[in-house]
Structure 1
Amino acid sequence: MAQRGKGPRPTSKRRSGRPGGRPVGRPQKATARDWIGGARLRTLTLGVVPVVLGTAVAYVDGGYDLGIALLCLAVALFLQIGVNYSNDYSDGVRGTDRYRVGPARLTGSGRARPRTVLTVALTFFGLAAVAGVVIVVLTGLWWLLAVGAAAILAAWFYTGGKRPYGYNALGEVFVFVFFGLVAVLGTEFVQIHHVTLNAWAAAVAAGLFACAVLMVNNIRDIDEDRLAGKRTLAVVLGSRAARTLYVLFLVLPYVVLVWFVVLYFRTGYTYFTLLLALPAAIIGATSSRPRELITALQLSSFSALAYGIVLGIALALQP
């Protein structure tokens, strides 16, 4: 007769709030470097570029307001950081990061408590909201509160909630709309109170760059996302089609640039940023190594930043 307490015990299913259950052993506590990494600084260009372009086209189309522009930049950066921490939290508690082979995430690695990561995400969303409210008060455009609320909700439901649209091949739609159209058009509108064709062209370019950065990131994670049941657009299309679309996302802003070159000759200097975009496109289209795809992501991000800065300066220097 077996003694009580001896032998194998039956297992029971428990939700741990961590990907794939509780991590083996005791994970190290997140350091300041881990938290900075969680902000994913290389993606912050997605917030900078539309504000630079929106302010530049506002300047050539009727004037600009530096204070309002800086507040727009704060909204964009705080929102982007909030999205990054929100994704870390949501992917971690869903178990998506269980299959991750890239840099460890705060929640998925167990280095930070899910609630702490969520609190940080909500804090940055709150900071974005405060900066947005200041813009509304200064401009008197109270209806913009609805736009700001929509942006924060869209940021949260990208990977949060019961049915995140980022898990259903709609991530690129989100970044194109909010980090392209809304960000650029909104930046111009709060400064000169109307939207121009220049702003629409710049918004499309910024949105396409944002889609390129997201796509190459998802190409890197395509196998892991497929295993985790995360249906990104890259997973739905497959590797070959996703790579083709990534190249299109990265090259089409230079087609849009023709609009500005025809109107403002000096903006042609922006084509020099192809020196960053073309290597990114080649790597993203041909490489399957995660490290090289990270390089493509970084080059894509820097291409977007260089494009925005050079085009913005060229517009500002028009006679």
Structure 2
Amino acid sequence: MKNIAKNSLRAWILAARPKTLSGALVSVVTAVALFVRLSGGIGGMGRGEVQMALLCAGFAVLMQVASNFINDWYDFIRGNDREDRLGPKRACQQGWISPEAMKKGILLVVLLAGAVGLWLLFVVVRSISGAVWPTMFFLVGVGLLCVAGAFLYSSHLSSKGWGDVLVLLFFGIVPVCVTFFLLAQTLSSAALVLGFSVGLVVDTLLVVNNFRDRDTDRSVGKRTLVVLIGEKMGSRLYGGLGIVAVALIVLLDFMLHGSPTALSLLTLLYLPLHLSAWRKMRQIWNGRKLNEVLSLTARNILVYAFLVSSGMLF
């Protein structure tokens, strides 16, 4: 990657961290599947619902890109990214993108996310019945909260042990519940349970990332949750997140059907994959080879989304 031209398209693509973008889509995909299940089938997805689902997905991906850019820039100016980092190379630290260009890129992506949000607002206003203003204020508030969360994650909270809480909120509970609310025009305890499960699964990616970087994070004063609780508890946290996430889907299945169905049975297939990744994490324990566990975890998140969505739809 030494031949990457400064501020080139390839540099921006790498800075966006494409492998992380699937995590932003899991919440929307599973929320849509829940809506289809509760609305009686795919026939509940009219043109307006399809537009809202696609726009929610677009907003989620753009906010993930913005968060990645912000994280790249903040870690560079704070000196957190060193030459001996174990994870993927960062754009600013490698000189692929200048700090000034990165700031402009952050602004552009946030503005694009805002434009998608306004488009979503327009579609929602056309689709909903009843009072419009409360929903408009709610959506604008959620959008601003997402932008604030993206900045606060990198600037303050991720280095103080709050990163996992933000992932649970902004990659699980908030996008699942908001997407479901827009489609169904009502809130649901089922969406909340699903949001918790999705958030826990997506957080496995952050936990293995922070587990890999625990020594370098500690040396630069970055107090992630893994640094705070120690490596043994950090490993157990990784394993526990996936187990609890599956248990929540089984609970959701009972809430929806009163007994286990294909939703529980299919989601249980995620568990061997997760436990296998956890075992490999414990075997490797230190070093760059933990990136293999990171790749397995990213794959497992996609498998989880496929299994949960399939269980709800079929």
Same fold (TM over 0.5): yes
| Matching residue within 112, 115, 131 for 2:116 | 131
| Counterpart position of 2:64 | 80
| Matching residue within 270, 273, 277 for 2:270 | 273
1:218 Cα deviation (Å)? 0.6
1:231 match: secondary structure: coil
1:83–1:156 contact (8 Å) kept in structure 2: yes
| Counterpart position of 1:43 | 20
1:209–1:300 contact (8 Å) kept in structure 2: no
| CA offsets 1:195-244 (integer angstroms, 9 cap, x no match) | 22221121011110122111110111111111111111111111111111
| Counterpart position of 2:144 | 149
Give the letter aligned to residue 44 of structure 1: L
Are residues 1:172 and 2:169 paired? no
Q: Percent identity at matched positions? A: 30
Give the letter aligned to residue 238 of structure 1: G
1:157 match: secondary structure: helix
In our comparison, the structure showing a higher alpha carbon Rg is: 1
| Matching residue within 288, 291, 295 for 2:292 | 295
**TM-score, normalising length: structure 1:** 0.85
Task: Name the CA distance, whole Å, in 2 between partners of 1:203 and 1:258.
Answer: 14
2:69–2:106 contact (8 Å) kept in structure 1: yes
Task: Name the CA distance, whole Å, in 2 between partners of 1:299 and 1:316.
Answer: 26
1:247–1:284 contact (8 Å) kept in structure 2: no
| CA offsets 1:110-148 (integer angstroms, 9 cap, x no match) | 232101122222222222221112111221321210110
Structure 1 gaps of 5+ residues are 1-26
Mean Cα displacement is larger for which, 204-213 or 274-283?
274-283
Are residues 1:224 and 2:220 paired? no
Q: How does 1:242-261 map to 2 (within 5 A)?
A: 242-261=234-253
Give the letter aligned to residue 132 of structure 1: G
Structure 2 gaps of 5+ residues are 126-134
2:86–2:212 contact (8 Å) kept in structure 1: no
| Counterpart position of 2:86 | 101
1:250–1:281 contact (8 Å) kept in structure 2: no
1:194 Cα deviation (Å)? 1.0
1:82–1:124 contact (8 Å) kept in structure 2: yes
- The RMSD of aligned alpha carbons is 1.8
Task: Name the CA distance, whole Å, in 2 between partners of 1:36 and 1:122.
Answer: 16
Mean Cα displacement is larger for which, 61-70 or 151-160?
61-70
Give the letter aligned to residue 243 of structure 2: V
1:159 match: secondary structure: helix
Task: Name the CA distance, whole Å, in 2 between partners of 1:49 and 1:285.
Answer: 26
Give the letter aligned to residue 168 of structure 2: F
Are residues 1:121 and 2:98 paired? no
Aligned pair in 2 of structure 1 residues 60, 101: CA closer, same or farther (>3 Å)? closer
Are residues 1:284 and 2:281 paired? yes
**TM-score, normalising length: structure 2:** 0.86
| Counterpart position of 1:19 | none
Are residues 1:187 and 2:179 paired? yes
2:92 match: secondary structure: coil
1:219–1:243 contact (8 Å) kept in structure 2: yes
Task: Name the CA distance, whole Å, in 1 between partners of 2:301 and 2:188.
Answer: 21
| CA offsets 1:54-101 (integer angstroms, 9 cap, x no match) | 111111223341111010100111111111111001100111102523
